[in-house]
Amino acid sequence: MLSKRIIPCLDVREGRTTKGIKFENNVDIGDPVEMAKFYYEAGADELVFYDITASHERRDIMIDVVKRVAETIFIPFSVGGGIRTLQDMRTVLLAGAEKVSVNSAAVKNPDIISQGAKAFGSQCVVLGMDVKHVGNKPGIPSGYEIVINGGRTYMGMDALEWALRGQELGAGEICLNSIDADGTKTGYELNLTRLVSENVNIPVIASGGAGTPGHISDVLIEGRADAALIASMVHYGTYTISLIKEHLHEQGIKVRRA
Amino acid sequence: MISIVDYGAGNLTSVQRAVSHLGYESLITDDPDRIARGDRIIFPGVGAAGSAMEVMRARGIDQAMEEVFKKGNPMLGICVGCQIVMERSDENSAVCLGLIPGYARMFSGKMKDHFGQRLKVPHMGWNGFSPKTEHRLLDGIGPTDEFYFVHSYFPEPAAPENIFGTTLYGVEFASAVGRDNLFATQFHLEKSGRPGLLILKNFCVWEP
């Protein structure tokens, strides 16, 4: 049986992680490579780096980070943010990332999913989805709509339909982020997660809203997610990976005890 | 020097980085002469066994691999490397290296877990491993260690003595196989954290 995965997410801007972190043990809280090492040793199953560098010209800084992370940790990690072309994907994968995540670029140009899957294999291509609950709205049968620009732009696309289309195009995994839950620390969007997880055949990583270990067990059990993305609950030292996994284990969820 | 065999099956630098992290030198090569002369060889890879074998044959790597096997030098296959050591793969009925009797099979898309939920294929993520034999490369591997998998096919050796360890995913399948100087894992040693690096390190000093 596969273990459910716990995946810390690091936001990187111009080579530095953007959230301050209260680590002890002399970890440089702004250095993504040191943080990657910290989480690797703490038992994270995978890592996600999200490049929020504003300008395309500064992308080489991120590539350097990816290379240094790849020399330091020996678990899979993915890189997302600003991936627009097949060449962007190639650069990130050659630098040592296991997977590359496409989000708004795929919304604007779905072919990038199939091109990436064909060139590098489906297992390398993660479809990142930002989703908002819109309720009863024409053209959005599931009640969940795809948004971009941090939730400011509604795309008129149904989230479930887009997930199924992404799978058909060759995405190997979906990272499903609820914009409504993101940053609230009040729990994942369970209905959305369950809806997508039960309808696709590829793994779903739940994202947005994690505040306690209980939220994670909820989304893995009720939400049927394969993995949970976490950020501030571990970045600020409130919880450790091993404490979270201890809780999940007690709930009967299979996790890797590193 | 360790030769990492390049047969067009994906990015090999992650294996090289892991080997260099352990303090060993390696060379990524597709040159059959170099491969045949290598002290020890690693053949990693992702993707399809059929296209991997096509590249091997086109470049004469298949013969170099057989030579290394006969010479008795340590050989380590990873992922697709664990499938191409078999006689054939179900993937496009590809004829493989035939170093181990048996076939590479595909997971059924109809497998269910014990809650009745459909198991997704490819099998991707962390899963357990039960050693079936004592082996130098498995020294230090414990019952709770897990490894990282990404695959739709798995080796099915005809003889139980070629199965070094198994993993459960709908079925119990061979996730480590081998014989003599050959060892191969279906899981990615370079992405499996501490236990993966341990097997890799054991390989780097293995004297079969």
| pLDDT tens sequence across B97-156 | 999 999 999 998 888 877 777 888 889 999 999 999 999 999 999 999 999 999 999 999
Q: What is the ipTM of this complex?
A: 0.94
Split at pLDDT 50, 70, 90, the class of A20 is very low
**Distance to chain B for A137, nearest Cα, Å:** 31
Alpha-helical segments (H) within A73-210: 86-94, 104-108, 111-120, 159-169, 190-199
Using CB atoms within 10 Å of the CB of residue A20, give its burial: 0 to 12 exposed, 13 to 18 middle, 19+ buried.
exposed
A94 with B11: Cβ contact below 8 A: yes
Domain ranges of chain A: 5-250
Q: Which of A50-64, A73-87, B111-125 has the highest mean pLDDT?
A: A73-87
Q: What is the C-alpha to C-alpha distance for residues B21 and B39, in angstroms, rounded to an integer?
A: 19
Helix axes B49-59, B61-71, angle to 10 degrees: 90
Rounded mean pLDDT of A202-218? 97
Query: Residue A122: its chain B contacts at CB < 8 A?
Result: 122
Place of tokens 């890797």: A256
Residue partners of A242: CB distance under 8 A and separation at least 6: A42, A43
Residue of A51, A130, A218, A226 marked active site? A130
3-state SS assignment for residue B159: coil
B42 lies in which domain range? 2-204
- Assigned token pair, A15: 């080579």
- Partner-chain residue, chosen from A98, A201, A256, that has the shortest CB–CB distance to B146: A256
The CATH number that domain A5-250 falls under is: 3.20.20.70
- The CATH number for B155's domain is 3.40.50.880
**Distance to chain A for B118, nearest Cα, Å:** 9
Domain count for chain B, please give it: 1
- Assigned token pair, B118: 């459909």
Query: Residue A121: its chain B contacts at CB < 8 A?
Result: 10, 46-47
